[in-house]
Amino acid sequence: MIRPIVIVGASMGGLRAAESLRKGGYTGGLVVIGDESHAPYNRPPLSKEVLAEHVDHAAVAFTIPPILEDVEWALGSPVASADLQVQSVTTADGRVLDYSALIIATGLRPRRLEFEGMPPRGSHAIRTLDDAMALRSELKPGARVVVYGAGFIGCEAAATARKLGAEVTVVGKGSVPLLRPLGEQLARDIQSRQEAHGVKFVMNSNLVRIAGTETVTGVVLDSGLTLACDVLIEAIGSEPNVEFLQGNDIDIESGIHVDGTLHALRVNGQPWENVFAIGDVARFPIPQFCETTRRVEHWNIPTEMARKVGQILSATMTENPALADHLAKPFAPIPSFWSDQFEVSLLSYGLLDQADDIRLLEGAVGGNCVYGYFKGESMVGVCGIGMRSKIMGYRNSVGLTPEGGSSALS
């Protein structure tokens, strides 16, 4: 029997990879394995609409196009192990699947707090639909909510909870929320806008203990401050889902290391010809913006990677001469993210955290504005509040220029 292509991960990346394979003319077997029982759905609404409104899976589910009607969706059990030599994966419920090619799109899982004697209820992460629905039932008007972690998920959840009438305090390790992803100017601006809506911030703090026996009743910070609360939202980052690959000759340090054509790499840097990784779990070269490989947890990345892998793999399977073109052109995305918190609507292109200098390009601090993120003379990113057309106008100019210090050219 001819082995199918197996896609591990049934979220956006897995779905788009399946689509791209079929659009590229691959008609063979296709199995998509997912740990959640839900068919693929869109995650950004989880910290916003799903918490705020009574929406269900149908409201956030991706449309499954007719070209995928003969795809097998093996949902509800994660992959537990893989053997890349014999080309097979085994799910946690014991099913063994031999593959012709493997696309890994297992994504991330939230990092969770692990304190001895932590109460079993009242503490939530936000990664899956089930997570968001469980949290939603606790976000009542007047509920005291502590959000631990002042990144995008934490700040968006804080805004949503506040809009629902909760008393919200964000506890963060840095001096300002969103400092690392946005830099000081925009980060301070957003903090003051959040504060104007009644969200409190306790920064430069770590959580050292959680109070409560049955459910969370408070958190204790390293400053000694105790915050009473009914709900704790943990938004302290995430970990790549790579453990199932342990024991194989594959580089899974800080995500799955892939090359410019998204082939997974062995420990010695040589590619696996029939193993690819895409989405949040992939650590890839992005020489237009930085000199090292990295993961980019932006929403547009899985779709673009899936398209690329689908093109390569379908051309390989159908012996399409376009394969040479697909292999010659390395993956070169322009990362993009957006975020909505109260009236603040952020839009960004590029990799902001590469910048050593941030300049106001348009508008005014505290109002609608556009900032350029520079590394030397190169604008490596653009981000702003409102002013979408202006921001979009800069999209095609972001990236390192030779003068800006690209190592390959300097």
Partner 1 sequence: MIKIHVDMDKCQHYGQCVFEAPTVFALNEDDKLEYHATADDSELENVERAIDVCPMQAIAFAK
Sites of contact with partner 1 (CB under 8 A)? 16, 19, 42, 44, 62-63, 299-300, 303, 336, 338, 340, 345, 347, 386-389, 392, 395
Nearer to partner 1, 153 or 347 (CB): 347
Least separation, in Å, of the C-beta of 239 and partner 1? Answer: 25
Nearer to partner 1, 299 or 374 (CB): 299
324: CB partners within 8 A, 6+ apart: none
265 - beta bridge partners? 271
Nearer to partner 1, 152 or 244 (CB): 152
Closest among 267, 262, 146, 279 to 209, alpha carbons compared: 146
Q: What is the dihedral of CA 293, 382, 339, 234, to 10 degrees?
A: 40
Q: What is the dihedral of CA 47, 141, 133, 236, to 10 degrees?
A: 50
Least separation, in Å, of the C-beta of 139 and partner 1? Answer: 22
Nearer to partner 1, 107 or 386 (CB): 386
Least separation, in Å, of the C-beta of 181 and partner 1? Answer: 17
Taking the CA atoms of the chain, what radius of gyration do you get in angstroms? 22
Least separation, in Å, of the C-beta of 321 and partner 1? Answer: 19
Q: Which two tokens stand for residue 37?
A: 């029982």
Please state the three-class secondary structure of 269-280 as a single string: CCEEEEEEECHH
Nearer to partner 1, 65 or 165 (CB): 65
Q: Which two tokens stand for residue 178?
A: 């969103």
Q: Which two tokens stand for residue 123?
A: 């503490």
Look-up: residue for tokens 């007719």? 66
Least separation, in Å, of the C-beta of 12 and partner 1? Answer: 9
Q: How many residues does the chain have?
A: 410
Nearer to partner 1, 225 or 392 (CB): 392
Burial annotation 252-287 (CB, 10 A radius, 16+ → b, else e): beebbbbbbbbbbbbeeeebbebbbbbbbbbbbbbb
Least separation, in Å, of the C-beta of 226 and partner 1? Answer: 39
60: CB partners within 8 A, 6+ apart: 41, 42, 43, 45, 46, 49, 50, 129
Nearer to partner 1, 169 or 348 (CB): 348
Least separation, in Å, of the C-beta of 392 and partner 1? Answer: 5
Nearer to partner 1, 124 or 308 (CB): 308
Are the C-beta atoms of 11 and 38 separated by less than 8 Å? no
Least separation, in Å, of the C-beta of 65 and partner 1? Answer: 9
Least separation, in Å, of the C-beta of 61 and partner 1? Answer: 9
Q: Which two tokens stand for residue 237?
A: 């980052």
Least separation, in Å, of the C-beta of 388 and partner 1? Answer: 4
270: CB partners within 8 A, 6+ apart: none
Residue 193's Cβ-side half-sphere holds a number of Cα atoms within 13 Å equal to 22
Please state the three-class secondary structure of 58-71 as a single string: HHHECCCCHHHCCC
- Say how far apart CA 377 and CA 385 lie, in whole Å: 23
Nearer to partner 1, 185 or 345 (CB): 345
Least separation, in Å, of the C-beta of 170 and partner 1? Answer: 24
Nearer to partner 1, 71 or 347 (CB): 347
Closest among 110, 82, 103 to 14, alpha carbons compared: 103
Q: What is the dihedral of CA 86, 92, 94, 99, to 10 degrees?
A: -30
Nearer to partner 1, 52 or 113 (CB): 52
